[in-house]
Amino acid sequence: MKRLILKFGGTSVGTIEKIKKVANIIKKRHQEGNEIIVVVSAMSGETDALTEKSSLISKNFDSKELDVLLASGEQVSSSLLSASIIDLGLQARSWMGWQVPIVTDNNYSSSQIIKIKTKEILNFISSKGIAVIAGFQGISNENRITTLGRGGSDLSAVALAKFFDTDSCEIYTDVEGVFTTDPSIHNKVKKIEKISYEEMLEMSSLGAKVMQPQSVQAAMMDDIPIHVRSTFTEKTGTKITSESEIDYKKSVTGIAYSKNNAKVSIVGVIDKPGVAADVFEPIGKNNINVDMVIQNTSLDGKTANITFTIRQEDLRKTLNIIEKNKEKLNYNKITHDDKLAKVSIIGAGMIASPGVTYKMFRSLANEKINILAISTSEIKISVLINENLTQKAVKTLHKTFDLN
Ligand code: ADP
Ligand code: ASP
Ligand code: MG
């Protein structure tokens, strides 16, 4: 007998019809003789709709109350799914995060899971019950509801796989697995059979929404293999696993993109030690994440321009912070641009294949796509470009690196 985590994302439970379909998948897996713990997301669009409501009440909606509100979407779907399973003649029961409990830290809206109590659920599944657990949520030591960041049901699934020591962790979604790039913007994508935790972490951090980055990191830390697969076909999906099980035939495994990037340039700061720290310290202290950074020095070596990227939604706040520090920073002017995208190629195979960088730049140049900033790591290269060229860039890179 195997113990399985089956996680169903929002698109898999987006309608009553789909919930009934999911209940049938669960029934089948149960009849194969498995112990089943289900993790469920809110019906698709629900978390966005709740977020929208909060913003109509206040732009500064209390963060702890926001978690109470957002977690409600998963309460609805887990009850609908449990009842649907019961209707098929099986024994099922829903658990909210606080009932399990899934204990998290107090970092509301992006909490980390600390521990999960297993006894009650183990008893239930060992007597043939199907446990349906609301994803995305937990409870803090202040006895308040927390959430795990957008897409956080993936993290719930991985954490449950760890604490329940399950034989597999299956992420059911609306696509057949992880593809060479987002199938919604390119029709020549290929399914990746196996991908390493490291590459998947880069893919999702750089925009591939199919897995939440924090969940991939958690899986990597505890070596919990993940199977990403479709709710709507029975085909095998993608295995996310440790690097030792993968041989890299290609230099690039996948391409990811993220829109909503903004770029700020501070022109004419005095070029002396400590300036970059003075620029970024107040930004960091305001919890704004800086992504790419470029500094170039004037010919006479006296002044420098510092350019960096942030998320579009942080642009106003960032500009205000810099303007407030104008006297200290002593710059000439600030410029900004807020309709930018970051396109990235990812692949552990690039470590062993020289020339990937120039091929990427040449292929973009041939399409007349201007590169505004570049950042690299061992297994990825990212470029910043105009947002409206995103799809064109992804398509040309997909072809250049032999992924079509
Ligand atoms: P769920 O509701 O199951 O959590 P998500 O919407 O969070 O599903 O993630 C699935 C979506 O991720 C797909 O519909 C697809 O458009 C998007 N996606 C982005 N990049 C990729 C990729 N490389 N492979 C597969 N899907 C991707
Ligand atoms: N419902 C949450 C969200 O939309 C969590 C999830 O779907 O994984 O972000
Ligand atoms: Mg998701």
| 46 Cβ contact list (under 8 Å, min separation 6) | 10, 73, 76, 77
Q: What is the largest CA-CA distance in the chain?
A: 80
Amino acid sitting at position 60: N
Ligand 1 center to 215 CA (angstroms): 14
CATH number, domain 3-174: 3.40.1160.10
174 lines ligand 1 (CB under 6 A): yes
Instruction: Return the best residue to mutate from 153, 155, 212 for the ligand 2 pocket (most ligand atoms within 8 A of CB).
Output: 153
Distances (CA, A) of 302 to 299, 305, 306, 403: 8, 11, 13, 46
By the CB criterion, residues less than 5 angstroms from ion ligand 3 are 9, 151
The half-sphere exposure of 5 on its side-chain side, counting CA atoms within 13 A, is: 31
pTM (2 decimals)? 0.95
In the block, which residue shows the tokens 């909210």?
96
* Per-residue confidence (pLDDT) for residue 157, from 0 to 100: 98
| 11 Cβ contact list (under 8 Å, min separation 6) | 18, 44, 173, 174, 231
Question: Are the C-beta atoms of 201 and 217 separated by less than 8 Å?
Answer: yes
* Per-residue confidence (pLDDT) for residue 353, from 0 to 100: 87
| CATH number of this structure's domain 255-400, picked from the four choices 1.10.3470.10, 3.30.2130.10, 3.30.1360.30, 3.40.50.720 | 3.30.2130.10
* Per-residue confidence (pLDDT) for residue 129, from 0 to 100: 98
* Per-residue confidence (pLDDT) for residue 46, from 0 to 100: 98
Q: Give the number of the atom of ligand 2 that is nearest the alpha carbon of residue 73.
A: 1
* Per-residue confidence (pLDDT) for residue 381, from 0 to 100: 97
Question: Are the C-beta atoms of 210 and 178 separated by less than 8 Å?
Answer: yes
Q: Give the number of the atom of ligand 1 that is nearest the alpha carbon of residue 208.
A: 20
CA angle 15, 18, 20 (to 5 degrees): 115
35 lines ligand 1 (CB under 6 A): no
β-bridge pairing 254-270 and 303-311? antiparallel
Whose C-alpha lies nearest to ligand 1, atom 1?
9
Whose C-alpha lies nearest to ligand 2, atom 9?
150
Ligand 2 center to 10 CA (angstroms): 7
Whose C-alpha lies nearest to ligand 2, atom 4?
47
Ligand 3 center to 117 CA (angstroms): 24
| 169 Cβ contact list (under 8 Å, min separation 6) | 4, 5, 7, 157, 158, 160, 161, 219, 224, 225, 226, 227
Ligand 2 center to 402 CA (angstroms): 33
| 3-174 matches 255-400 in fold | no
* Per-residue confidence (pLDDT) for residue 354, from 0 to 100: 87
45 lines ligand 1 (CB under 6 A): no
Domain ranges across the chain: 3-174, 255-400
Instruction: Return the best residue to mutate from 13, 156, 173, 226 for the ligand 1 pocket (most ligand atoms within 8 A of CB).
Output: 173
Instruction: Return the best residue to mutate from 39, 210, 344, 397 for the ligand 1 pocket (most ligand atoms within 8 A of CB).
Output: 210
Amino acid sitting at position 20: K
Ligand nearest to the CA of 136: 2
Per-residue pLDDT of the chain (404 residues; tens, 9 = 90+): 999 999 999 999 999 999 999 999 999 999 999 999 999 999 999 999 999 999 999 989 999 999 999 999 999 999 999 999 999 999 999 999 999 999 999 999 999 999 999 999 999 999 999 999 999 999 999 999 999 999 999 999 999 999 999 999 999 999 999 999 999 999 999 999 999 999 999 999 999 999 999 999 999 999 999 999 999 999 999 999 998 778 778 999 999 999 999 999 999 999 889 999 999 999 999 999 999 999 998 888 889 999 999 999 999 999 999 999 999 999 999 999 999 999 999 999 999 888 999 999 999 999 999 999 999 999 999 999 999 999 999 999 999 999 99
* Per-residue confidence (pLDDT) for residue 209, from 0 to 100: 97
Whole-angstrom distance, CA of residue 5 vs CA of residue 132: 10
Ligand 2 cavity residues, CB under 6 Å: 9-10, 41-42, 47, 73, 135-136, 150-154
* Per-residue confidence (pLDDT) for residue 204, from 0 to 100: 98
